[in-house]
Amino acid sequence: AQKITQTQPGMFVQEKEAVTLDCTYDTSDQSYGLFWYKQPSSGEMIFLIYQGSYDEQNATEGRYSLNFQKARKSANLVISASQLGDSAMYFCAMRSVGGGADGLTFGKGTHLIIQP
């Protein structure tokens, strides 16, 4: 079974600062993918970034980067130069690659609030 742990239920960050959202995972799969989604107050789920377990480079997508430490089983999301519009719930998720479970397993989320 897969498990995602997000230990920060809420975070307050000043605008323009960088923020790191923590995510640790547990799986017995050799090949897996890690995802981050953003959920604004309007409720939709917005895909942000993906990291494969065999990717040697950390994923980056604009202001988002994923700090992937495989030995520590962590996949932290880093948002550089935070903006007011970044205020939202952030969910870390994972699923198997190349067989095994296809559904995403989500963490409980981190509620990020950017303050002016």
Partner 1 sequence: EPEVTQTPSHQVTQMGQEVILRCVPISNHLYFYWYRQILGQKVEFLVSFYNNEISEKSEIFDDQFSVERPDGSNFTLKIRSTKLEDSAMYFCASSEARGTYEQYFGPGTRLTVT
Binding site for partner 1 (CB under 8 A): 31, 33, 35, 37, 42-47, 50, 52, 91, 93, 95-98, 101-109
Q: Could you tell me the smallest distance in angstroms from the CB atom of residue 19 to partner 1? A: 20
Length of the chain: 116
Q: Could you tell me the smallest distance in angstroms from the CB atom of residue 23 to partner 1? A: 12
**Using CA atoms, how far apart are residues 103 and 115, in angstroms rounded to an integer?**
34
List CB contacts of 98: < 8 A, sequence separation 6 or more: 31
Nearer to partner 1 by Cβ, of 27 and 96: the residue is 96
Nearer to partner 1 by Cβ, of 13 and 34: the residue is 34
**Using CA atoms, how far apart are residues 78 and 83, in angstroms rounded to an integer?**
13
Which of 8, 5, 30, 28 has the alpha carbon at shortest distance from 92? 5
Q: Could you tell me the smallest distance in angstroms from the CB atom of residue 104 to partner 1? A: 6
Nearer to partner 1 by Cβ, of 85 and 98: the residue is 98
**Using CA atoms, how far apart are residues 55 and 24, in angstroms rounded to an integer?**
17
Nearer to partner 1 by Cβ, of 14 and 31: the residue is 31
